[in-house]
Amino acid sequence: MTDSSDQKFTVDNWCYPPQNRQSFQRIQSLFPTARISRGFGPVTKFNHNLKDILNITYIGSDGSKRRVKQMLDEGYTDALVVVKDNSILCEHYSNGMSADSVHLLNSVTKSFVGMLAGIFIAKGLMRETDLVTQHVPELGGTAFSESTIRHLLDMSAAPEYGEDYADPTADFWKEASVVGWRPALKTKESAQTLLAYAKTLTESEQSNGEKYHYRTVFTNVLGMVLERAGSGSLQDQLQSRIWQKLGPERDAAIVVDSSGFPYVGAGMNACALDLARFGQMIIQQGQYNGEQIVPTDWIKDTRYADDQTKSNFAQSEYGALFPGGHYRNQVWVEDAEKGILVAIGIFGQIIYMNMQTQVVIVKLSTHPEPAGLLFRDSFIAMRALSELL
């Protein structure tokens, strides 16, 4: 792996290797962000039961025996935290990262939004059958006009939107350019806010609910729905209803557009230990720090979903990634029976949650590519670890 300590990152090259090795820990120096404050409450403490996790072996995708340390070294790992039964078994940092470093989460951010939606629905602030336009009427006349909140949650809405990360002009990157991530894609005619971008999506690629197709814009629009349905900014809602209730060690931050709206499709930044707290909350059926943060029924719905959701996922290009799995409420489910849920972000961000064994694994990384085989080896290692410990 390339040592990028002397590589200069800018708004133009920050997302490319090797500059991403440094920039993912310094997003706040590059782009406008909003603070998600930890508040003034006490930190929720983990117990410690440290084990030699790095020398545990597992069988890799090629059938060879591999050590966890090998997976970390070859996987451009910046942080690894392993927790079982609320005790830290391993806390490992590299590439200049430390326990109090914040790191870009990319699409792990989506899972926070999905859990906030469950809170809102349980409180009667919205219904999953609501049309998007009931809350964001500006999207009337677009491809979102007949989409429901449930369609957004499960990535089955109608709008046409390309998310091929290898395509430098994909819709994903065009939307990301709104918050400055790909400035070369900005023109005088470009949308200036995430809402303005969503309004440009007037073509449909499918019927609502017809199939699963992962599209980041759906999470951003879901965030717009949540902001309208709640009180205060979306970042304040995430802060008060989830983040502060975890008893985190650090503030989080999230990239915002020119209107101050957060890029919840990919823009959150946090430290690894606080992500472990979020994962611990989920495997404890939404309960953590003495409080029911996310409704138990929402966690169960995420885990088990329904037949249509499973069928939609199985027929998609992602069905081979998690055979028998599904995507529900902005969370990937690898194995519903065992309760293995995963939050995933491009370039190697993972929260791996095993309800059966009560293990949470956080891996923050700076892969040289957005997706690829490095993820596959990470998942194999994490499943093995979560079942061995």
Hey, is 235 helix, strand or coil?
Answer: helix
Average pLDDT, the chain: 96
Cβ count within 10 A of residue 16: 11
Mean pLDDT to the nearest integer, 329-354? 98
In Å, the largest CA–CA distance within the chain is: 57
Band (4; pLDDT cuts 50, 70, 90): very low
3-state secondary structure of 256: strand
In tens, the pLDDT along 259-268 reads 999 999 999 9
pLDDT in tens, 151-193: 999 999 999 999 999 999 999 999 999 999 999 999 999 999 9
For residue 61, being part of any structural domain is answered with yes
Q: Is the peptide bond before 183 cis (omega within 30 degrees of 0)?
A: no
Model confidence at 61: pLDDT above 90: no
What is the mean predicted confidence (pLDDT) over 2-14? Answer: 74
pLDDT in tens, 105-142: 999 999 999 999 999 999 999 999 999 999 999 999 99
The span from the CA of 363 to the CA of 366, in Å, is: 10
Task: State pLDDT tens for residues 359-381.
Answer: 999 999 999 999 988 898 999 99
Q: In the chain, what are the helix, strand and coil shares in percent, each to the nearest 5?
A: 35, 20, 45
CA–CA gap between residue 286 and residue 279 (Å, rounded): 9
Q: What is the pLDDT of residue 2?
A: 41
> How many domains does one find in the chain?
1
Q: Does 141 map to a domain?
A: yes
Q: Is the pLDDT of residue 202 over 90?
A: yes
- pLDDT at position 321 is 79
Is residue 101 domain-resident? Answer: yes
Q: Which of 365, 348, 364, 368 is nearest to 18 (CA)?
A: 368
Tell me if 368 sits within 8 A of 359, measured CB to CB: no
The model's confidence at residue 219, banded by pLDDT at 50, 70 and 90, is very high
Q: What is the pLDDT of residue 62?
A: 87
pLDDT at 6: 53
Burial of residue 240 (number of CB atoms within 10 Å: 0-12, 13-18, 19+): middle
Q: Does a structural domain hold residue 8?
A: no
Task: Report whether 81 contacts 272 (CB < 8 A).
Answer: yes
Q: What is the DSSP letter of 279?
A: H
The CATH number of whichever domain residue 105 belongs to comes to 3.40.710.10
| Domain that includes residue 69, residue range | 20-388
* Domain contains 3: no
> Does 5 score more than 80 pLDDT?
no
Q: For the chain, count helices (H), then strands (E).
A: 13, 16
In angstroms, rounded to a whole number, what is the distance separating the alpha carbons of residues 308 and 288?
31
Give the tokens for residue 162.
């390309």
Residue 276 lies in a domain: yes
User: DSSP letters of 55-76?
Assistant: G-EEE-TTS-EEEHHHHHHHTT
Percent of the chain with pLDDT over 90: 93
Torsions phi, psi of 374, nearest 5?
Answer: -60, -35
Per-residue confidence (pLDDT) for residue 372, from 0 to 100: 83
Closest residue by Cα to residue 351 from 137, 115, 156: 115
The answer to whether residue 60 is domain-embedded is yes
For the residues 61-69, what does the mean pLDDT come to? 92
- What angle in degrees, to the nearest 10, is found between the helix axes of 108-122 and 216-229? 30
As beta bridge partners, residue 288 has 291
Rounded to two decimals, what is the model's pTM?
0.97
In a domain, 341, yes or no: yes
